């Protein structure tokens, strides 16, 4: 059973958004199968939130104040971090979900490093707010966190671009809407009689609460009989606001003020209304977070008036009838639905459907997925001893993480400082310890381990394009090697041809795509955006990508090429070669001078935020002269973009031929036809399904685990232009 | 070798940034009332004959200025260092660009670019060339189109919440323009909220350029 600790820098005596978060998180983890320990920040003064949690199975509530672990009053972050470390030391947790930047910063330096699942909040929300301290704090938090939980896609993408250390470990964990058990949602059907508007929350200028009090009168002038029910008692004390706000609450025309109420009662009042109001000042639309109250209204079957912004458009649909950005918009929208029962029903249904994705059930499904990835099920008792040896593990990191996460393996690393350099004593010690050795790269590391392999030990070697032409494979004692793994059938064939090794020694396991990380909602208009990842060295043929773009822009200037790459002059070994420099001088001159390409090429910064960047890309290009696999099109496919390749040797053994075009002109014609023919959505979904089946991370991980455990039936074969795993494995 | 030196330069830059952060924290600490109180009391304890007599007066002075904001020397120096990066007009003065009309640097969509080019020499700014263009071009204003972030253009998604890179590029452009004291104008109606909340010079400023 996975043991989880939950600590939010929140006082559970006060019912606010962060307390509701803690409640939702504990329930989610418990239902996802964890033993949950909730540590309280403050002494218990009321059991309203805590008592129901104590009653849940698999949930323990710890009060450090009652247990004498801390003094009086709510714990400050440093104090809380020390208390959590003491609790953990008694019986270590598998994971600790924490909320609050100050607290997470403290914990990042402590013994929970590596086990933190940090829920990101109180972080900068614009580039201008990001100072050195924020970046430093967040980098340390990211380094110490196993998982970063982000409330919205906007926040996740923003963090990945601003703090690269967050990339690869950030996952979505949206607000959880938990309705009180005995609360009945609003009965379906349009209002008959008076239109009851409801607002719950604080009264403050940016929440437009004073403006709301004018709505009943304005609606009456339009022939809609309405009253406004306002729930809450916190009036923002600002000169020029507090007095008129209070007056409007007490004696506003058509305004009914209910005063402050507990959360459950406020929700009951919302459910008794017809329309909830969440229309706010435009400055609130810059937020990267989502209002839980909006979702709660949806779950209660009460449609919401709210600002039109990209996040809300995605949630409710662009044609949602209750978007508003000004007072007149609000009056128009309410008049429309006040007089049109069908439209009212449509709005209510949209809200209900949107809220369903934020239910406790949905949160539990998400959490189970994250837990399964992080804590895989064992295949056997005991631990297989595995050594991974190599000088550069960047192409093996995800697999290495998975092998390390497995409870049935113990993994040790033999990190060679350079291709030919290692610590022989360390290597000798490891080779005597291991059951299985995996050599990443078929270089001197593979030669050393082949020479020193122990009886009964298994040796696996992963061979890339680079070594094939280096001469190292020719020197390898293939009899000592159990399997050489190549990433594509083409390179497997080349390897066999060049080395003369027996066929059964070479196996294809492709590169992988972390398909769950790349699976993100596309941004509007992405279908006119081409992407290319990596344009150096010249064999990447950036010039051919420009040919494609030029063709497309002759007919439609919306086509834009976004380049995610270091620039060629940022690689000294490329820039010192005259022929390379000449190539790029010419290519960049073309970008500068061509009228067709003007404003059509954007060089985005190289970085680890590729999944977030791909949200804006509709087609990913691969125009290279030569590749062994080329991950970029596969990553594009996983992101929901369409791959477009020119036929580099072996491309048809990695990708379906439907994505491969004979010339740049053919590629441009295919792209234009896909977009103008309205096939972009269907094609991209097809591509996404294809890449998940063939190169999804779980599929490839399983193939490697099969190989490490000695199950040799996982050879990946070719089928209709793309790789698949026989035996039905690919269909899981 | 060059790669190594690039790595070392990057490490040096990062170290500089860390030192700067630590200097700021230290400066903030040193100017804090708590630390000063501790120093005064400790000083008096170490040297009771000379300093104990001054203790009440020093404590009173400290109490009197307890809420007064202070700016640390480190902060002023680092701000100057940052300004140095922008405030190098000499290279820009070497670049010739003859024009009888005002020159505006533009973060623009297609329609705004066409409209503005009727009256002004427009220097297009792209996300990747903000610094290069603005540091070399002799422009009279920076104009940001409210619709520049529409898809199908180089500034696609400018103004959409969460687009850190576009947000950062715009911030850089505005920062350079402000340091150069060039007007920064938001052009067009219904800007996205993330642009609307920023401070802009009035559109009328452009007319004054003519």
Cβ contact A177:A210 at 8 Å: no
Q: At residue B146, does pLDDT exceed 60? A: yes
Tokens 């990747």 sit on residue: B128
| Residue A47 confidence (pLDDT) | 81
Angle at B73 between CA B71 and CA B74, to 5 degrees: 105
Q: What ipTM does the predicted assembly reach?
A: 0.89
Q: Which residue of B has its CA nearest to A602?
A: B154
Selecting from B17, B162, B165 the residue whose C-beta is nearest the C-beta of A288 gives B162
For position A497, what pLDDT does the model report? Answer: 95
pLDDT computed for residue B45 by the predictor: 74
Give residue B8's pLDDT: 66
Give the per-residue pLDDT at A651.
Answer: 95
Mean pLDDT, residues B70-74 taken together: 45
Which residues of chain A, if any, have pLDDT below 70? 15, 711-732
Identity of the residue in A286, A602, A605 whose CB atom sits nearest the CB atom of B161: A286
- Residue A722 is predicted with a pLDDT of 42
The pLDDT tens digits for B22-41 are: 766 666 566 666 667 777 77
Distance from CA of B44 to the nearest CA of A (A): 32
Q: Is A598 exposed, middle or buried (0-12, 13-18, 19+ CB in 10 A)?
A: middle
Query: Searching chain B, which residue's CA lies closest to the CA of residue A284?
Result: B193
Q: Which of A123, A125, A128, A575 to mutate to test the interface with B (most CBs of B within 10 A)?
A: A128
Burial of B60 (0-12, 13-18, 19+ CB in 10 A): exposed
CA–CA gap between residue A729 and residue B22 (Å, rounded): 54
Is the per-residue pLDDT at B9 higher than 80? no
Return the pLDDT at A469. Answer: 87
- Tell me if B154 and A286 make a contact (CB, 8 A cut-off): no
**A560-564 vs B184-187, strand pairing mode:** unpaired
pLDDT at A338: 87
pLDDT score for B79: 45
pLDDT band at B60 (very low <50, low <70, confident <90, very high): confident
Is A359 touching B (CB cutoff 8 A)? no
Distance, in Å, from the CA atom of A513 to the CA atom of A687, rounded to the nearest integer, reads 13
The answer to whether A604 contacts B160, with C-beta atoms less than 8 Å apart, is: no
Q: How far apart are the C-alpha atoms of B82 and A567, rounded to whole Å?
A: 25
Q: Band of the pLDDT at B89, cuts 50, 70, 90?
A: low
Collect all residues of chain A within an 8 Å Cβ-Cβ radius of residue B111. Answer: none
A-chain residues near B128 (CB < 8 A): 602-604
- Pick A132's closest partner by Cβ from B20, B162, B171: B20
CB contact under 8 A, B21 and A136: yes
Determine, for residues B154 and A152 on separate chains, whether the beta-carbon distance falls below 8 Å: no
Give the one of A560, A598, A604 whose C-beta lies nearest to B152's C-beta: A560
Give the orientation angle of helix B33-46 with respect to helix B2-30, to 10 degrees.
70
Residues in chain A within 8 Å Cβ distance of B197: 282-283, 286
Give the contacts of A424 (CB within 8 A, at least 6 positions apart).
none
Task: Say yes or no for a CB contact (<8 Å) between B160 and A157.
Answer: no
User: Which runs of consecutive H residues, i.e. helices, occur in B31-156?
Assistant: 33-46, 48-51, 55-64, 73-86, 89-94, 110-117, 130-136
**Residue numbers of A between 636 and 675 with CB closer than 8 Å to B:** none
pTM value is: 0.84
The C-alpha of A136 sits at a distance from chain B's nearest C-alpha, in angstroms, of 9
Calpha distance B25→A673 (Å, rounded): 59
Q: How does residue B66 score in pLDDT terms, banded at 50, 70 and 90?
A: low
């Amino acid at each position: 059973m996975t043991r989880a600790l939950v600590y939010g820098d929140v006082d559970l005596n006060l019912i606010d958004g962060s307390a509701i978060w803690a409640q939702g998180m504990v329930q989610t983890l418990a239902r996802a199968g964890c033993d949950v320990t909730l540590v309280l920040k403050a002494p218990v003064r009321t059991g309203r939130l805590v008592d129901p949690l104590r009653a849940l199975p698999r949930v323990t509530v710890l009060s450090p104040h009652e247990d004498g672990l801390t003094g009086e009053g709510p714990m400050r972050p440093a104090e809380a971090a020390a208390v959590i470390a003491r609790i953990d030391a008694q019986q270590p947790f598998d994971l600790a979900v924490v909320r609050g930047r100050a607290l997470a910063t403290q914990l990042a330096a402590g013994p929970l490093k590596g086990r933190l699942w940090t829920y990101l909040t109180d972080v900068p929300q614009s580039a201008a707010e990001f100072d050195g301290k924020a970046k430093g704090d967040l980098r340390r938090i990211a380094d110490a966190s196993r998982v970063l939980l982000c409330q919205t896609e906007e926040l996740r993408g923003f963090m990945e671009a601003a703090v690269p250390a967050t990339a690869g470990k950030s996952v979505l964990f949206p607000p959880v809407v938990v309705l009180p058990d005995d609360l009945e949602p609003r009965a379906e059907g349009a209002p008959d009689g008076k239109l009851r508007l409801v607002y719950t929350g604080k009264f403050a200028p940016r929440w437009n609460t004073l403006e709301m009090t004018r709505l009943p009168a304005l609606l009456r002038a339009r022939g809609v009989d309405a009253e406004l029910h306002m729930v809450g008692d916190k009036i923002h004390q600002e000169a020029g606001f507090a007095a008129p706000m209070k007056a409007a609450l007490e004696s506003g025309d058509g305004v009914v003020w209910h005063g402050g109420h507990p959360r459950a009662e406020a929700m009951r009042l919302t459910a008794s209304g017809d329309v909830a109001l969440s229309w706010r000042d435009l400055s609130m639309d810059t937020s990267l977070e989502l209002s839980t109250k909006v979702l709660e209204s949806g779950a209660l079957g009460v449609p919401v008036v709210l600002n039109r912004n990209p996040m809300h458009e995605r949630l409710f649909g662009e044609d949602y009838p209750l978007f508003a950005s000004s007072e007149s918009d609000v009056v128009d929208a309410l008049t429309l639905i006040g007089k049109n029962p069908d439209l009212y029903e449509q709005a209510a249904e949209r809200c209900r459907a949107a809220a369903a994705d934020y239910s406790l059930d949905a949160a539990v499904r998400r959490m189970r997925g994250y837990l399964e990835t992080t804590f895989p099920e064992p295949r056997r008792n005991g631990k297989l001893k595995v050594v991974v040896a190599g000088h550069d593990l960047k192409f093996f990191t995800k697999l290495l993480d998975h092998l390390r996460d497995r409870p049935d393996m113990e993994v040790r690393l033999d990190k060679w400082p350079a291709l030919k350099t290692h610590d022989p004593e360390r290597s000798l010690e490891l080779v005597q310890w291991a059951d299985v050795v995996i050599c990443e790269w078929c270089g001197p590391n593979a030669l050393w381990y082949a020479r020193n392999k122990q009886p009964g030990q298994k040796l696996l070697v992963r061979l890339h394009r680079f070594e094939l032409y280096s001469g190292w494979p020719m020197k390898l004692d293939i009899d000592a090697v159990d399997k050489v793994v190549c990433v594509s059938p083409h390179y497997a064939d080349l390897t066999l041809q060049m080395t003369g090794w027996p066929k059964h020694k070479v196996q294809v396991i492709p590169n992988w795509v972390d398909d769950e990380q790349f699976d993100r909602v596309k941004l509007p208009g992405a279908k006119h955006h081409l992407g290319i990842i990596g344009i150096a060295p010249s064999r990447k043929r950036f010039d051919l990508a420009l040919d494609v773009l030029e063709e497309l822009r002759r007919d439609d200037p919306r086509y834009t090429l976004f380049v995610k790459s270091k620039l060629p002059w940022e690689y000294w070994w490329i820039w010192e070669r005259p022929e390379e420099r000449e190539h790029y001088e010419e290519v960049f001159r073309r970008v500068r001078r061509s009228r067709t390409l003007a404003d059509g090429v954007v060089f985005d910064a190289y970085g680890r935020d590729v999944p977030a960047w791909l949200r804006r890309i509709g087609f990913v290009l691969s125009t290279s002269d030569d590749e062994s696999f080329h991950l970029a099109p596969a990553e594009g496919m996983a992101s929901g973009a369409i791959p477009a390749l020119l036929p580099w040797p072996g491309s048809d053994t990695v990708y379906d031929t439907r994505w491969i075009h004979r010339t740049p002109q053919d590629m441009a014609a295919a792209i234009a036809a896909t977009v103008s023919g309205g096939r972009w959505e269907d094609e991209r979904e097809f591509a996404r399904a294809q890449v998940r089946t063939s190169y999804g991370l779980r599929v490839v991980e399983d193939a490697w685990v099969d190989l490490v455990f000695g199950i040799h039936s996982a050879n990946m074969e070719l089928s209709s232009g793309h790789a698949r795993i026989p035996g039905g494995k690919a269909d899981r | 070798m060059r790669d190594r030196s690039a790595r070392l330069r990057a490490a040096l830059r990062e170290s500089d940034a860390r030192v700067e952060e630590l200097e700021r924290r230290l400066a903030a600490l040193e100017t804090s009332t708590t630390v000063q109180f501790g120093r005064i009391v400790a000083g008096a304890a170490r040297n009771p004959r000379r300093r104990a007599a001054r203790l009440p007066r020093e404590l009173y002075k400290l109490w009197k200025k307890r809420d007064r904001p202070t700016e640390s020397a480190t902060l002023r120096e680092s701000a100057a260092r940052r300004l140095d990066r922008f405030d190098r007009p000499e290279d820009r003065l070497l670049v010739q660009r003859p024009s009888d009309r005002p020159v505006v640097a533009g973060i623009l969509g297609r329609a705004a670019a066409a409209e503005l080019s009727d009256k002004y020499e427009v220097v297009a700014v792209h996300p990747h060339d903000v610094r290069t263009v603005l540091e070399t071009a002799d422009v009279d204003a920076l104009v940001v189109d409210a619709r520049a972030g529409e898809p199908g253009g180089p500034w696609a998604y400018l103004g959409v919440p969460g687009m850190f890179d576009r947000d950062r590029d715009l911030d850089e452009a505005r920062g350079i323009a402000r340091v150069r004291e060039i007007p920064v104008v938001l052009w067009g109606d219904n800007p996205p909220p993330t642009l609307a909340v920023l401070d802009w010079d009035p559109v009328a400023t452009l007319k004054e350029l003519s």
